[in-house]
Amino acid sequence: MIQLFVPLNFLGFIYREIREALTNIERLFGLLEAPAKVVDAADAQPLQLSGGDVAFKQVAHAYDPARPILDDVSFHIPAGHTLAIVGPSGAGKSTLARLLFRFYDVAAGSIEIDGQDVRNLTQDSLRQAIGVVPQDTVLFNASIGYNVAYGAPGASEEDIWRVLRLAQLEDFVRELPQQLETPVGERGLKLSGGEKQRIAIARVLLKDPPILILDEATSSLDSHAERRILDALNLVASKRTTLAIAHRLSTIVHAERILVLDHGRVVEQGTHAELLAHKGAYARLWADQQRAEQQGEQTDPRDA
Ligand code: ATP
C-alpha cells in the first residue's frame, strides 16, 4: 500500500505545482492583456452622436504613476476629418488610441466625442461608435464570412460580399473553393499580413462606425500590396472621423493634418508642406526616412 501511496502522493504534488504554475501564467497574461478595468459610471449615458467630433483636452496619462506617458496633449478632429499621428517609437501614439477607446481613463484633462466626456458614456455605446483597423489583425479560427461579419450581427451574405469588394478582397475569396465558408487561421487558410488587414477593413466597413482608429502597418508589404491597402484604408477613412497612426511618412504626405508626438507631448502640427518648412522634428523624421529609402532600407519613423 505504502508503495502505491508514495507515487500517488508525488503525482498529487506535481499536479498541484502545475496547477499553480498555470494559474500564475493566467494571471500574468491577464495583467498583460486585459487593461485595468474601467467601469461605467452609475449614471452613464449612451453616446448621442452628431457626426463624431473628437477632442482631446490637456490629456495626461501614465500606466505607472511614476512614469508619465502623455502630458498636456490637446487636439481636435472635426467630424469626418482625419488626423495623422507620427512620432518616434514609444512617443505615446498607440496610447492615444487606447484612451479614445477608453481602455484606460485619463489621469488629467478630458476626451470628448460630440461634446460628451467619454467617462460619462456607457462603454457599449462608445465602442459601437469606434472602428479599429489594427496593425496586426488577429482573426478567429473560423470562416472568412464569420470574421468579416463579427461585430455586425445580422449582416447578410450580400453585405459581406459588398464590403469584401470595397476592401479589394472579393476576387481572392471568390476563387477559394469554399468562398465565404473557407476557414482561416491556424487550422485553415493562411493569410498574409495585408490580406488580414483587408479583412479588418471589410469588418469596419460592415460595422460602419462614425469614428475610426487606423494603425497603418504598411512597412513590410511590397508596393503593389501596399497600394491596395492604402486605397482600402482611404476608402474606409473617407467621411469618418479618423485618428491614423502612421509609421511611414510617405503614406501621410497628403493627410489634411499631421500631429507630431515626442515623449508624450505634441511638438508640431500642420500639413506635410508646413511641417517641412518648419524644419523641426517632422523635417528630421522625413529626412531620415528619405535617406533610408534611398539606401533601400525598410523604413519606419519609429526607428528614427
Ligand atoms: P510604437 O510606435 O513603438 O508603437 P507608440 O508611440 O505607439 O510606440 P505607446 O505604445 O503609446 O507608444 O507607448 C508609450 C509608452 O508607454 C512606451 O514607453 C511603452 O513602454 C509604455 N506602455 C505602453 N503600454 C503600456 C502598458 N500597458 N503598461 C505600461 N507601460 C506601457
**86-90, 130-134, 231-235 — which is least confidently predicted?**
231-235
Residue 278 has pLDDT above 90, yes or no: yes
Cα angle 130, 132, 138 (rounded to 5 degrees) comes to 140
Cα end-to-end distance, the chain, whole Å: 69
pLDDT on residue 1: 52
Please give the full DSSP string across 175-232, using - where no structure is assigned. Answer: TSTTGGG-BBSTTSB---HHHHHHHHHHHHHHH--SEEEEE---TTS-HHHHHHHHHH
Choose one of 28, 70, 71, 93 to mutate for the ligand 1 pocket test, by most ligand atoms within 8 angstroms of C-beta. 93
- Mean of pLDDT values over 67-94: 92
**33-42, 151-160, 276-285 — which is least confidently predicted?**
33-42
Helix (H) or strand (E) holding 166: helix 157-166
Which is higher by pLDDT, 6 or 137? 137
pLDDT in tens, 122-176: 999 999 999 988 877 878 888 999 999 987 878 899 999 999 998 889 999 999 9
**What whole-number distance in Å separates Cα of residue 83 and Cα of residue 246?**
10
Which is higher by pLDDT, 292 or 141? 141
**What whole-number distance in Å separates Cα of residue 218 and Cα of residue 233?**
11
Give the residue whose CA is nearest to atom 17 of ligand 1: 90
Choose one of 33, 86, 94 to mutate for the ligand 1 pocket test, by most ligand atoms within 8 angstroms of C-beta. 94
Give the residue whose CA is nearest to atom 2 of ligand 1: 89
For residue 260, what are the β-bridge partners? 86, 268
Choose one of 31, 56, 95 to mutate for the ligand 1 pocket test, by most ligand atoms within 8 angstroms of C-beta. 95
pLDDT on residue 252: 77
pLDDT on residue 304: 43
Q: Note the pTM of the prediction, 2 decimals.
A: 0.80
Q: How far is the CA of 246 from the centre of ligand 1 (A)?
A: 15
The single-letter DSSP state of residue 93 is H
Residue 289 has pLDDT above 90, yes or no: no
Residue 5 has pLDDT above 50, yes or no: yes
> Is this prediction's ipTM beyond 0.90?
yes
- Cβ 38 vs Cβ 105: under 8 Å: yes
Whether the CB of 63 sits within 6 Å of ligand 1: yes
Whether the CB of 70 sits within 6 Å of ligand 1: no
Place of cell 484633462: 109
Residue 221 has pLDDT above 70, yes or no: no
Which is higher by pLDDT, 183 or 192? 183
Place of cell 528614427: 304
**What whole-number distance in Å separates Cα of residue 121 and Cα of residue 50?**
15
Cell numbers standing for residue 253: 504626405
Q: Is 243 helix (H, G, I), strand (E, B) or coil?
A: strand
Q: How far is the CA of 169 from the centre of ligand 1 (A)?
A: 32
Which is higher by pLDDT, 275 or 226? 275
Choose one of 33, 37, 63 to mutate for the ligand 1 pocket test, by most ligand atoms within 8 angstroms of C-beta. 63
Strand order in the sheet with 70-77: 70-77, 54-61, 108-113, 116-117
Whether the CB of 264 sits within 6 Å of ligand 1: no
Residue 160 burial (C-beta neighbours within 10 Å; 0-12, 13-18, 19+):
buried
**What whole-number distance in Å separates Cα of residue 260 and Cα of residue 193?**
27
**What whole-number distance in Å separates Cα of residue 60 and Cα of residue 265?**
9
**What whole-number distance in Å separates Cα of residue 111 and Cα of residue 244?**
17
Using the atom order of ligand 1, give the atom closest to the CA of residue 247: 2
pLDDT on residue 179: 93
- Cβ 167 vs Cβ 197: under 8 Å: no
